[in-house]
Chain A
């Protein structure tokens, strides 16, 4: 528990974390507003086929903040300080204080999970408000089950970023891969045109929890299970590698 508190305090005192929070709270409503404005006429005329997706598209596309959160949580530990201040890594200090590596990793993952759940609830709040602001009475009802799906998607994305960064130690690769894959036309989506297996990629399956990009290939529940399986596998791999790796290397 003390390790968990320490991790929370470390995360909240990272300057980059505030960037993650600002992006996480502002990007989804911004996307939702743009989407609502584009769909407004159709919705008022009653011919829109995407009424139920408005707002949720924002939550699906605005995951950049949470990616930064997951990546920075780990990459900040491995940042080398300048040679004038000893050229050390924070990770050596952290592991001196919490000597069980598994405990350290679990505490950090726990802190990331708690913060991402909080951040996603905040983001849902701003997104729903933004949608109501633009669409007024025409705004769709936000069902609780899909909102829970969105929270799960955000949290799993953060944990995926976390696991990837533990494996690579530097934030560049996970940031590049995940941010490119959260762009408007994702690589995963293009791959689904080549092979049906791509529907089992974590982001395509995860989106099924509250949108249906695959056209009902997975039910929301199986989509969640598939993404959770990815998170578990990645986390196990990260834990094994982290357990066996020399800290200084």
Chain B
């Protein structure tokens, strides 16, 4: 059957979006991440408020929980692709959409559309909380730095989600994918940061963190936000491509 690719994309995109939005686990993950994030931000804020007056930055405090927040988005990404494989939903999907490359890339697109508002809400709420609590004591904050940081953090979380989705598609099972990603982000990467300071800038999470980290003047070889974005984007595209290639070759 010859159908032009542009006419295929809209229904496929609608279907993928529909599947993601109706996945109850996605919403539960989002709500849980939101609550945990607020609790952590509250803890960080109260810890910072005990410091000297006028020195704290609202942005740094509001985003201090980013390291833990990304776990929620890693789970989100893995769930999006691995949910297809529990109970054989994948065969139904591929019967109705027999173009595998198109299907998986549209899935990532739909996931990005779902993730961006979520990430914006989460990072925004963290900064807002820190702003309300620290209004009187913290240093002045410029509005355009705040917008830049917010966009950077949202972009970072979205790219991390897409990367996790690609890894999930490669592993096809939730538990191994989760172990590998959490192990990398929370154990291997902090260690690498300590013991391999030269090459850590090329790792997706360290490079990505420059997308939202307020620039500290002390560091010499740090990356600009744009360079950080480029590196994490390259990693994400690499894993998505690998996932699509495997997906096309492999038995479903």
Contact = CB atoms under 8 A, between A and B. Distances in A.
Co-complex (A, B): yes
A87 B87 contact: yes
A34 interface: yes
Nearest to A190: B43
**Interface SS of chain B: helix, strand, loop or mixed?**
helix
B187 A175 contact: no
A2 interface: no
A212 to B, nearest CB: 21
B178 A172 contact: yes
Contacts of A3: none
B79 to A, nearest CB: 8
Contacts of B174: 171-172
Interface in B143-184: 174-176, 178-179, 182-183
A49 B223 CA distance: 35
A183 B88 contact: no
Contact of A172 (B75, B88, B176, B194): B75
A183 B86 contact: no
A248 interface: no
B179 A68 contact: yes
Interface stretch (A77-85, A122-130, A151-159): A77-85
B191 A180 contact: no
A38 B195 contact: yes
A176 B40 CA distance: 15
A213 interface: no
A193 B88 CA distance: 47
A113 B174 CA distance: 25
B151 to A, nearest CB: 26
B182 A176 contact: yes
Contacts of B187: 27, 61, 64, 179, 182-184
Contact of B87 (A64, A68, A80, A194): A80
A107 B205 CA distance: 42
A31 interface: yes
Contacts of A175: 175, 178-179, 182
Interface string A166-204: 000001110110011011110100110110000000000
Contacts of A37: 195
Interface in A62-119: 64, 68, 71-72, 75, 80-84, 87
B33 to A, nearest CB: 10
A47 B183 CA distance: 33
A81 B86 CA distance: 7
Nearest to A191: B43
A133 interface: no
A148 interface: no
Contacts of A82: 86-88
A187 B68 contact: yes
Interface residues of B, number: 26
A184 B195 contact: no
Given A38-B195, A184-B190, A194-B46, A19 B179 contact: yes
A179 B182 contact: yes
A183 to B, nearest CB: 4
B27 interface: no
B47 interface: yes
B44 A190 contact: yes
A194 B47 contact: yes
B238 interface: no
Contact of A176 (B75, B88, B191, B194): B75
B88 A180 contact: no
Nearest to A71: B175
A171 to B, nearest CB: 6
B99 interface: no
Contact of A183 (B46, B190, B194): B190
Contact of A72 (B32, B79, B175): B175
Interface string A233-248: 0000000000000000
A176 B86 contact: no
B205 to A, nearest CB: 12
B191 A184 contact: yes
B71 interface: yes
Residue of A72, A87, A194 contacting most chain B CB atoms (<10 Å): A194
Interface string A5-44: 0000000000010010001000100010010011000000
8 contacts: A37-B195, A68-B179, A173-B32, A175-B178, A176-B178, A180-B186, A184-B190, A184-B194
Given A27-B187, A184-B186, A194-B43, 8 more contacts: A23-B183, A72-B175, A87-B87, A172-B75, A172-B79, A175-B178, A176-B75, A184-B187
Which 10 residue pairs are nearest across A and B when measured between Cβ atoms? Answer: A183-B186, A184-B190, A82-B88, A179-B182, A194-B43, A193-B47, A194-B47, A83-B88, A180-B186, A83-B87
